[in-house]
Structure formats: structure tokens, C-alpha cells
Structure 1
Amino acid sequence: MTLPLPQIPLSQIRVWIFDLDNTLYPASCNLFAQVDRRIGEFIARHFGIPHDEARAMQKRFFREHGTTLRGLMVEHDVDPEPFLDYVHAIDVTPVEPSPRLDKALERLPGRKVIYTNGSVTHAGNVTARLGIARHFDTVFGIVEAGYVPKPDPRPYATLVERHGIDPKRACMVEDIARNLAPAHAMGMTTVWVRSEADWARPDLGASGGGVGTGGHIDHVADDLIAWLEAVPAA
């Protein structure tokens, strides 16, 4: 069940900021499994090490630096461009075109932006497959963020400054709950697309109110499209 929309004037939202992976398409498409595998392959080839050793390095970088790429850059000065080209060369056909999402975005008032820890190219491939690329006037990817991943607050500030976004009139939609904390601190309305993955769930110990999933979450949506369809009516 999708929880009720919070008591805010939705008519005041002027910019909708969407995460990409496992947010604009269902996690069941499992695209990240392809990316995850290719990250391990890149590390194994780059360092000439066995796959299990590469896998351990990959996961340590993710835990300690927010993304594997950030760890590779900080600890080993790896060139990010070949990495991004390699890991995002995936098959996006598991993502089904979504005319319903296309229509929901069309009816949603305001600008639409994608903010992803992935690349602009990857976002373009996925949104083209979904049939929704036309709705987004900006894709703010990991390159545009200076290779600093969410939830570091610095790229959030860069995003709003560069694109003239008033955080108090913006809404951020994301499947990884911790990535909503900096947006909420800036004054954005936040929507968590519920995930069963442990690493994506809210910190239940977080202070504040919200909807019982941490004070930095204003809305919880089990079905993003249904939630978006409800916004104009609300």
C-alpha cells in the first residue's frame, strides 16, 4: 500500500528530482546485477587479480567511499571515464517501456530532473528504453557531481545552484533512503520508493518525525507510478 501524501501544498513543487536506478524502473528489472558484475570484472582486469579478490575490493570501496568508483579514484587514481564506459555497457531490455509512467510524468506539473550516481549516458539509455526521456531537461550524473556520490551534500548544493532550483519548492524521489537526508536538510520534500534491500532502507534510529521511517522522509511510495498519478489530483 502507498502511504498518504503528506499535508503539503503540492502546487508549490516546481522541480521534481528523480533518482534513476531502481526508482524510475522497478528493482525487479535487476539492471544493477549487470553493472555489479561488470564492476568486478573491471577491477579484476585493471589490477590483474582473481575475481574473488576483486569482489572484496569492490564492496570495501562501496562501503567506505559511497561508490566503488570513488574508492578507485581516491585510493588508486583510476581514470573514471573508462570505468564508466565499461560498467554501463549493459543490456537495458529487461526494462519494459512504460507508457503509464510517460503519461504520469506528462501530467506532473513542473520541471523534471534526474540525479544519479551513474552516468548521463546510462541515464539516456534507460530513459529511452522506458520512453520517458522527453520529460527531463537535466541529467545530473556522477561526472557533473565531480565524481562525489550521494549522499555527500556537496553535489546536492552544486545541483541546485547550477540549475537554479529552490530546494523549498523541489521534491526528490529516491530508492536509497539515506540519499534523501541531504535533500531534506536543504528543505526539499522527499519521497522514498520503498525497497526491501537492507542497504536501501531508512535508518530506523534517525531522529525526527516524518512517516515513521526517519525524519528525513516525507512520503513513502510502494508504487511510484501510482503515487505520481495521485499528485495532480491532490
Structure 2
Amino acid sequence: MLPALGHIRNWIFDLDNTLYPSSADLFGQIDRRMTDFVARRLGLEREAAFRLQKDYFLHHGTTLSGLIAEHGVDPHEFLGFVHDIEMDVLEENAPLAAAIAKLPGRKLVFTNGDKPYALKVLDRLGLGESFEAIHDIHAMDLVPKPQASAYAGLCAAFGLDPRQSLFAEDMARNLKPAKAIGMATLWVDNGSEQSADDDRSFIDFTTHDITAWLERILEA
């Protein structure tokens, strides 16, 4: 193990665009269905619905949080609709499964999606048995990353010491609260939406390929 990570006992992974490459564009399908949902529910043209969707994402953490706060949308209805997508673009990643299996300690998924969707993605990737648990948006009481309560709730739910934990995530802004409570942070830099500022002081490690990065630290 890389000496700088010798203290890590809890390996926490985001799901979308982190455990699979962004080139799969799975979230692109979800994004389009979010726009469809907003357009239909609020009676908007698609262009206006898209702008509102992104505004809610930026100011509430997720589109869903904005829809709940502003329109009282049922989260189960929303998540069921937007996650009804084709997953044939995902392929089994045996090297990633092998690398995760070699990590010392606990392995968890921490996602703003819901557990049924996460399980389908993990099964497609061959990672169905790789993680102890999935901490999803419902476990966060619908208050998503990057809200501080999401990270505190994760640590409380599993008895994690953040100082012995690493969090891997494709969205840089979601790493900042993790670093604030003592976690090591890994940014999977693949072009996902980022925060407006250029501050990257809360990022400890950066990679374009999560599998290759894990293999490197395990061989160090």
C-alpha cells in the first residue's frame, strides 16, 4: 500500500462517473429524463426545464432536492422515472473488482442516487459483492452531498472515523466537505460538472482512471 494511505481503513466510493468511465454517458440518459420530468410536471418547454433543472442542482445539491423544496415532488416517483434507463453501455470490470477486493478494511458506496438503481449499476459492473453497503439518498434523509449532514450521517451510520477514511468522487465540490471532517480525498477527474471556483486545496489525489489508480497504490 502507498505509505501515505497506510492509515486508511474505510474506502468510500461515489457511484456514477466514478466506478465506471464517464464515456459510458449513463448519467446523460438520467439527465435527459430529469429534464423530461421537470418539463412534464411543471408544464415547461424543454429548454426552460433544463435551465431550471440545472439551477436546482447548483443551489440545492441535486435536482430532486430542488423539486422537493420548491414543488413538493415525491422522491420515489422522481427517482423511479429518471433511473428507468438502459444499462447495456456498462461492462463488467473484473480488474476493478479485484483491486477493490484487495483494499484493507471496509468498502462502501456513497451516492445521491437510490439503492435499487445503485444495485443495478454494480451488478452490471461485476461489483455486486464488492461493497459492504450502499448509503443512498434515502439514508441521507433526502439531504444530498455536498451538504455536511450527508457526510456526518454516513460516518454515524457505519461508525466510521473520517480520519481513517478515503472518499473517491468525480465531482470536486463533493470532496470539500469530506476533507473538512478529515477524510483523504480522491478526485476522479473525468469532466463532470465542477464548482465555479478554482480552489482544489481539499483534493489529495487525482486520477482519470479509478482502476489504474487503485492498482498503483496497492503495488506501491
TM-score normalised by the shorter chain: which range applies? over 0.9
- Kept in 2, the 8 Å contact 1:108–1:231? The answer is no
Partner of 1:200: 194
- Kept in 2, the 8 Å contact 1:105–1:228? The answer is yes
Count of residue correspondences? 219
Query: Which letter does structure 2 place at the counterpart of 1:221?
Result: T
SS at match of 1:114: strand
Partner of 1:221: 207
Q: Distance in 2 between matches of 1:151 and 1:194?
A: 17
- In structure 1, runs of 5+ residues without a counterpart are 207-213
Is 2:101 aligned against 1:106? yes
Shift of 1:138: 1.1
Shift of 1:202: 8.3
Partner of 2:131: 136
Shift of 1:151: 0.8
Counterpart pick for 1:94 among 89, 95, 108: 89
- Kept in 2, the 8 Å contact 1:178–1:203? The answer is no
TM-score, scaled to structure 1 = 0.89
Partner of 1:188: 183
Please give the per-residue CA displacement for 1:13-48, whole angstroms capped at 9, x wherever unaligned: 111000000000000000011001111111222223
Partner of 2:171: 176
TM-score, scaled to structure 2 = 0.94
Q: Distance in 2 between matches of 1:135 and 1:38?
A: 29
Is 2:7 aligned against 1:12? yes
SS at match of 2:66: helix
Shift of 1:224: 1.0
- In structure 2, runs of 5+ residues without a counterpart are none
Q: Distance in 2 between matches of 1:186 and 1:23?
A: 21
SS at match of 1:220: strand
Shift of 1:89: 0.9
Q: Which one is further off, 188-197 or 80-89?
A: 188-197
- Kept in 2, the 8 Å contact 1:109–1:232? The answer is no
Partner of 1:210: none
Please give the per-residue CA displacement for 1:93-142, whole angstroms capped at 9, x wherever unaligned: 11111111111111111111000111111110110000012011110111
Superposition misfits of 4+ residues, deviation over 4 angstroms: none
Is 2:41 aligned against 1:55? no
Is 2:65 aligned against 1:79? no
Q: Distance in 2 between matches of 1:196 and 1:35?
A: 17
